[in-house]
Amino acid sequence: MHYILSAAIRGAIPFIIMSIFSWIMKLQHIDDYSIKSTFITGLIITAVAATSVIYDVKS
């Protein structure tokens, strides 16, 4: 259970930050392509950060 919580926290932080960046870009009327690419980059960072928990598992 500890690893699941750790993965959720590690994944949530970059997701929230990149979502806020995308939201700010939308408020500034930046083109949709840049907003979508920023958000998708955030999803990729989220996946990588969340799966980095596997390096903490002791065998």
* Boundaries of domain holding 6: 2-56
pLDDT value of position 31: 95
- Give pLDDT tens digits for 5-58: 999 999 999 999 999 999 999 999 999 999 999 999 999 999 999 999 888 878
Is the pTM higher than 0.75? The answer reads: yes
What is the Cα–Cα distance from 34 to 58, expressed in whole angstroms? Answer: 40
Q: For the residues of 1-59, what is the DSSP string, one character each?
A: -HHHHHHHHHHHHHHHHHHHHHHHHHHTT--HHHHHHHHHHHHHHHHHHHHGGGGG---
C-beta separation of 42 from 19 below 8 A: yes
Structural domain count of the chain: 1
